[in-house]
Amino acid sequence: MSMTLVQVVVSGLLLGAVYALFSSGLTLIWGMMNVVNFAHGDFVMLGMYTAVMIWTALGGGPWASVPAAAMLIATLGIASYFLLVRHIMRGPMLAQILGTFGLALFLRYGALWTFGANFKTLPDDLVGHSFILAGIRFEGARVLAGVVGLAVTLALHLLLTRTAIGSRMLAVSEDATAAQLMGIRPQRMQALAWGMAGAATGIAGALIATFFYTSPTVGETLAIVAFVTVSFGGFGSVLGALVAGLIIGVVESLSAYLIGPVYKDVIVYILFVLVLWFRPQGLMGKA
Amino acid sequence: MTRYRLLQIVLVVLVLAYPLVVAGSPVWARLGALVLLAAIGASAWNIVGGYAGQVSVGHSVFFGIGAYSAVVTYTYLGLPPIAGAPIGMALSVLVAAVIGVPTLKLSGHYFSMATIAVAELVRVLSSTSEFLGGAQGLGGPPVPRGVLDLSFISATPYYYIFLAVLAGLLWLTHMIERGRMGFYLRAIKDSERAARSLGVSAGRYKLYAYMLSAAFTALAGSLYLTMFGFVDPESGFGILISVKMVVMAALGGAGQLFGPLVGALILVPLEELSNSYLGGQGAGLTFVVYGAIIVIIARFLPSGLLSLFQRRRQVTSRASKTVDGHAD
């Protein structure tokens, strides 16, 4: 394997870890209460703007913006749950699409109104310069994003599968009434899920902003990636989102390198449709 | 009952005379045409999304096929764009069968996600295709060569063309609604398993609904092209095209004959008026309001605006039943 190919795979993995992180919030919500959040991409967008604002106002880097974005988007998630989602989650699926898409427009154009339509970028050397290790070139911002993305996604997975609070959340997602009889408050757990999903999404946004342009409509593109990652990995499975994110990241950068940048999305979508065809529940979803 | 009939007649006259009523204002005539065009798209979606309950968020595939078929017919054959409409409809039915056979097996959100992915795939492919003009797209006849090019300065002819198509589509939908297929689709929507156990070949009827819906969505795309004279990957296959169809139908009332029209009547003016009156800096604010209105309707009327009237009708019919019961 040539060095370039290794380089391509490594950058694909780093990108994939970020995909995994910003998709894990979506999969958590989807699995917990069978709601698809069409505003998810716009949550990421607001996380990105948080990073941009913190840099322009205070000159702070990711060390400041990541926790700030996590808290801010977690609050937004919890607020969305109590004000909107709680009321529409038992309704028809169309009401969920209608409600969360309305929320998406609200946030997207709120951002346009507040920040303007211009693309904003953070300085290249905010996270540190690129460096060469074992013959592979690494960009500081992408390494940070990839490593934090991997760590937070894994932490979320462990939290859901290995802790008492995770078991409680799982119980609510399996059967909210039975969980209530066991002394678990479903609403509290669901609000917590929205908070955790929001925090993960905010972190992802703040990290993406360090190497990607920020604009009010960036969420639309990101949301499609998240939908694909989540359906690919299997709904409700954070581990599935992690594996799917990494696969998509690697497939994207490999096909961009081997076939051409235009076709990277084509390959990913074809792969996705094939997975759905042969394994409708996704890689790690429950049938 | 007579009052109801009178109301119907007044509404029909109003719809027919609308362009004459607003004759002085091209903005309003155009708005009327745009509402009808959006209603055609959303009503076409309604057949599979509303009645059959298969929420496709990738109907832009068919809209784009319709629009591109029309423009390709003009560009490569020199025929009037509208001549491409039957081609687009036939092609859409074929594509719907190809997409539908594997994806309609998926349930709920998975079907929606799969349709999004397919639509995105088609969008990306169309932007790399030189035949379709790549990312720049293709344009229709710059100067009308005859009436058949359907290129008018005034919006009034479009209004009547769209009205005729919408009336035809709604009539067809009404016939389906009342017929055997309508019962099957409602049964599938309520519980596919129960419908299957009663002998409804659910897969086949879902596919029929999907193909029919695709054909009319393609027609909406072709009509769009005759009015706007231009299509590119974003305006043909973009995800917003699909989402708007879903949102309009859901807002008015999915699975109801006039639901999509009601949705279009509300959303299109909101969007158009905000575009024309608040260009530039103010544009964001109106879409904020637009989003907020959608959220509020989803929150308080999850089954769409028409459910307001339906609820009342149910109450009255229940009341009349009790009266009948007492009479017995």
Give the pLDDT confidence score for residue B283 in this predicted structure. Answer: 60
Give the pLDDT confidence score for residue A1 in this predicted structure. Answer: 59
User: Which has the closest alpha carbon to B214: B19, B41, B37, B24?
Assistant: B41
B108: phi then psi, degrees, rounded to nearest 5: 50, -125
Residues of B within 8 A of A102 (CB-CB) are 247, 291-298
Examine residue B3 and state whether it is found in any structural domain, yes or no.
no
CB contact under 8 A, A266 and B121: yes
DSSP string computed for A201-224? HHHHHHHHTTTS-B-TTHHHHHHH
Give the pLDDT confidence score for residue B322 in this predicted structure. Answer: 43
Cα separation, A145 vs A41, whole angstroms? 17
Residues of A within 8 A of B279 (CB-CB) are none
Share of chain A above pLDDT 90, in %: 14
Give the CATH number for residue B129. Answer: 1.10.3470
Supply angle C-alpha A35, A201, A260, rounded to 5. 100
Q: What is the DSSP letter of A120?
A: B
Between chain A and chain B, the number of residue pairs with CB atoms below 8 A apart is 158
Examine residue B17 and state whether it is found in any structural domain, yes or no.
no
Q: Does B278 touch chain A (CB under 8 A)?
A: no
What was the ipTM of the complex prediction? 0.81
Closest Cβ opposite residue B120 in set A34, A83, A269: A269
DSSP string computed for B147-212? GGG---SSSHHHHHHHHHHHHHHHHHHHHHHHSHHHHHHHHHHH-HHHHHHTT--HHHHHHHHHHH
- Find all residues with CB under 8 Å of A147, minimum gap 6, and list them: A17
Cα separation, A70 vs A204, whole angstroms? 9
The CATH fold of domain A3-278: ABC transporter involved in vitamin B12 uptake, BtuC (1.10.3470)
Residues of A within 8 A of B116 (CB-CB) are 224, 227
The dihedral through the CA atoms of B141, B143, B149, B154 has a sign that is positive
Provide the domain limits for residue B303: 26-327
CB contact under 8 A, A266 and B113: no
A137: phi then psi, degrees, rounded to nearest 5: -90, 130
Looking at per-residue pLDDT, the higher value among B284 and A265 belongs to: A265
Q: A167, A159 in Cβ contact below 8 A?
A: no
Instruction: Identify the H or E element spanning B257.
Output: none
Give the tens place of pLDDT for each residue, B4-63: 788 888 888 888 888 888 777 788 888 899 999 999 999 999 999 989 988 898 999 999
Examine residue B83 and state whether it is found in any structural domain, yes or no.
yes
CB contact under 8 A, A98 and B113: no
Read off the pLDDT of each residue in A80-90 and give the average, rounded to a whole number: 86
Give the pLDDT confidence score for residue B289 in this predicted structure. Answer: 78
Residues of A within 8 A of B287 (CB-CB) are 105, 108-109, 112
Q: Which amino acid is at B145?
A: R
Give the tens place of pLDDT for each residue, B218-249: 999 999 999 898 899 988 898 888 988 998 99
Residues of A within 8 A of B292 (CB-CB) are 102, 106
Instruction: Tell me what the pLDDT averaged over chain A comes to.
Output: 84
Q: In terms of C-beta distances under 8 Å and separation of at least 24 residues, what long-range contacts does A270-279 make, across chains too?
A: A270/B121, A271/A232, A271/A247, A272/A228, A272/A231, A272/A232, A272/B117, A273/B102, A273/B114, A273/B117, A273/B118, A273/B121, A275/A232, A276/A231, A276/B102, A276/B103, A276/B106, A276/B110, A276/B113, A276/B114, A276/B117, A277/B102
* Torsion angle defined by CA atoms of residues B229, B69, B42 and B17, in that order, rounded to the nearest 10 degrees: 50
Examine residue B14 and state whether it is found in any structural domain, yes or no.
no
Instruction: Identify the H or E element spanning B4.
Output: helix B2-21
Give the pLDDT confidence score for residue A43 in this predicted structure. Answer: 93
Give the tens place of pLDDT for each residue, A150-196: 888 889 888 888 888 888 888 888 787 888 888 888 888 888 889 99
B176: phi then psi, degrees, rounded to nearest 5: -65, -45
- SS3 for B141? coil
Instruction: Identify the H or E element spanning B57.
Output: none
Give the tens place of pLDDT for each residue, A113-124: 888 777 887 777
Q: Which amino acid is at A18?
A: V
State the burial class of residue A154 (Cβ atoms within 10 Å of its Cβ: 0-12, 13-18, 19+).
middle
Strand pairing partners for B138? B231
Cα separation, A185 vs A86, whole angstroms? 14
Share of chain A above pLDDT 70, in %: 96
Read off the pLDDT of each residue in A44-58 and give the average, rounded to a whole number: 87
For chain B, the domain total comes to 1
Give the pLDDT confidence score for residue A4 in this predicted structure. Answer: 81
- Find all residues with CB under 8 Å of B98, minimum gap 6, and list them: none
Give the tens place of pLDDT for each residue, A3-35: 788 888 888 888 899 889 889 888 888 888 888
Q: B152, B162 in Cβ contact below 8 A?
A: no
Give the tens place of pLDDT for each residue, A88-110: 887 778 888 888 888 998 888 88
Question: What pTM was computed for the model?
Answer: 0.84
Instruction: Tell me what the pLDDT averaged over chain B comes to.
Output: 84
Give the pLDDT confidence score for residue A215 in this predicted structure. Answer: 85
CB contact under 8 A, A269 and B117: yes
Cα separation, B37 vs B43, whole angstroms? 10
| Contacting B residues, span 24-63, partner chain A, CB-CB under 8 Å | 49, 55, 57
CB contact under 8 A, A93 and B55: yes
Examine residue B198 and state whether it is found in any structural domain, yes or no.
yes
Write out the two tokens for B228: 């706007």
Tell me the shortest Cα–Cα distance from A179 to chain B, in angstroms: 24
Give, for all 328 residues of chain B, the pLDDT tens digit: 577 788 888 888 888 888 888 777 788 888 899 999 999 999 999 999 989 988 898 999 999 999 999 999 998 988 888 999 999 999 999 999 998 888 888 877 788 888 888 898 898 889 888 888 888 888 888 777 777 777 777 888 889 999 999 999 999 999 999 988 888 888 888 888 888 888 888 888 999 999 999 999 999 999 999 989 889 998 889 888 898 899 899 888 888 899 999 999 988 988 877 766 655 555 667 778 778 888 888 888 888 888 887 765 555 554 444 444 343 3
